[in-house]
Amino acid sequence: MADQSPEQNQAQAPVFSIQRVYLKETSLEQPNSPAILLEHEQPTVEIVLHVTSEQITQQAGAYEVGVAATVQTKIKDKTLFLVECKQAGIFEIRNVPESQMGPVLNITCPQIIYPYLRATVADLIVRGGFPPVHLAEINFQAMYEQQQAQQHAQGQAAAEPAK
- Please check whether residue 105 is in contact with residue 89, taking contact to mean a CB–CB distance below 8 angstroms: no
Starting from the edge strand earliest in sequence, which strands make up the sheet with 78-94, in order? 15-29, 78-94, 62-75, 44-55
Write the pLDDT tens digit of every residue in 12-24: 899 999 999 999 9
Question: Where does the pLDDT of residue 163 fall: very low under 50, low under 70, confident under 90, or very high at 90 and above?
Answer: low
Write the pLDDT tens digit of every residue in 42-94: 999 999 999 999 999 776 789 999 999 999 999 999 999 999 999 999 999 99
Give the whole-angstrom CA distance, residue 152 versus residue 49.
Answer: 21
Task: Measure CA of the first residue to CA of the last residue in the chain; give whole Å.
Answer: 55
Bigger pLDDT: 111 vs 59: 111
User: Is residue 102 scored above 70 in pLDDT?
Assistant: yes
Burial classification of residue 110, based on how many CB atoms lie within 10 Å of its CB (0-12 exposed, 13-18 middle, 19 or more buried): buried
- Please check whether residue 24 is in contact with residue 87, taking contact to mean a CB–CB distance below 8 angstroms: yes
All structural domains of the chain, each given as residue ranges with its CATH number in brackets, are 14-156 (3.10.420.10)
Phi, psi of 11 (to 5 degrees): -65, -25
The angle, 0 to 180 degrees and rounded to 10, between the axes of the packed helices 109-127 and 140-159 is 110
CA 126, distance to chain mean position in Å, is 22
| pLDDT of res. 153 | 85
Q: What kind and span of H or E run contains 17? A: strand 15-29
| pLDDT of res. 47 | 95
**Percent above pLDDT 90 for the chain:** 72
